[in-house]
Amino acid sequence: MNPITKYLKESTTRALTIDTDPVNHLKYVVVIPCYDEEDILHTLNSIYMAHPPEGGIEVIIVVNSSESDTLDVVSRNQTSFRQIKKWNDTLNSPHIQFHPIYLDNLADKEAGPGIARKTGMDTALLRIKQSGCEDGHIISLDADCEIKPNYFTTIEQTLKEQKKVNAGIIYFEHPLEGNKCSSANYQAAANYELFLRYYNRGLAFAGFPYPFHTIGSAFFVRAEAYAKQGGMNKRKAGEDFYFLNKIFQLGHIHEVNKTCVIPSPRPSERVLFGTGPEIKKMSANHKMEYKVYDPNYFKILQSFFNTTLSEFYKRSIDKIDDILKDQSLELMNFLGKNNFKKEIKRLKDNCASEQTFRKQFFHWFNGLRVIQFMHSVHEDENKKVPVFEASRYLLKQMGVNDDSKNVYELLKTYRKIERENSYKIS
């Protein structure tokens, strides 16, 4: 039984049946959670107007609310659902279909973007299965985004050039000016995006093998890979991060930097953490000195990942303390609290080569554990560094000369670095 068929037979699937036949030659299914949105049609129009790829497209919009949501939220959701259906009735294209799904009165304990994204993605998997073309792809987007016209054609070209891609991380940029938000919102978005790119480059600098962005509005995944790794989770926040870290373990991950997703810089409380809440917090406090992890801890991880790991593999288990003594006390304490010695012994007993040892190590010391380490050493907020200062320091460590005078200029430098240096895992 192939992974897609097996997954769709499991009791955990939330796939829903849509009462129309899949579009011809279905290849891409875009999934968009929609909660308390006022302008979902802006996002849908940008999808509809994009250059069509050779493969067919379906778009699943999961309008959702919880049992405790206010009548105002429910009313706006109902309006969004009606607007989508009315707008959809005006379309006439054999290459793309839009399917709004309404999830109302979800239990508070599970309601949120995770359950909405999982419902949409499981349904997308079913549509791909029904189409008879199981080599399809599920694309994750958010309801407050635009896409560039070459979005689908760029994804398709990537898949033609790289036959084994399990997932693609799509380039994104927040607007930095305009009349849709306040100047404080745009400034906050610039600070937060700089942090995201700084953290991404910090992971790469440290030698972490998966230095990818993990945001729900900017990735796609092969249908079979989605099923093989157990599908999307139902977390109320961070569902994208946890899901992608599972997918990364399969390998064949590519950055797709020749197109762009444009997320909104609006403040938001729709999720517990992430871009919207951080923008809201910065804008409300009128405090734009956004503080981030000290870049010196990326240097600590660099030494640990690039040099010390080989020593753990080559030397006997009773030498672990000797190897660790040259590491920072903070890293040693963190490893001790995470049963590091037990884990290294398990890996040494089960890995026949250093290459396998390293790969399995990073299944354990994954993206979540990196963040846990960073949190543990920054419990004292005073240890954090302003994002402008941290980002300039990291560039210097990377050997990049930069004379940016403000966050906006520095962000453009980081954007340029990412666009011109697509990263991939074979």
With 0-12 CB in 10 A as exposed, 13-18 as middle and 19+ as buried, what is 44? buried
Looking at residue 53, its amino acid is P
Between the two ends of the chain, the Cα-to-Cα distance in Å is 26
- Buried residues in 177-191 as b, exposed as e (16+ CB within 10 A): eeeebeebbbbbbbb
Q: What is the pTM of this model?
A: 0.93
Q: Where are the domains of the chain?
A: 3-17+25-269, 296-377
Tens digit of pLDDT for each residue in 286-339? 555 788 999 999 999 999 998 778 888 888 888 888 888 888 999 999 999 999
Instruction: List all residues 6 or more positions away from 234 whose beta carbon is below 8 Å from its beta carbon.
Output: 110, 112, 114, 115, 118
Q: Tell me, what's the pLDDT at 426?
A: 81
Q: Considering Cα of 129, then 135, then 136, then 138, what sign does the dihedral take? A: positive
How far, in Å, are 138, 168, 254, 326 from residue 154 at the CA level? 15, 11, 12, 46
Q: How many CB atoms are closer than 10 A to CB 26?
A: 22
CATH classification code of 3-17+25-269? 3.90.550.10
Which residue stretches of the chain have pLDDT < 50? 270-273
Residue 10: left (phi > 0), alpha (psi -120 to 50), or beta? beta
The pLDDT value given to residue 212: 96
Main-chain dihedrals φ then ψ at residue 272, nearest 5 degrees: -75, -35
For residue 420, give the 3-state DSSP assignment.
Answer: helix
What is the residue whose two structure tokens read 């405790």?
68
pLDDT at 306: 85
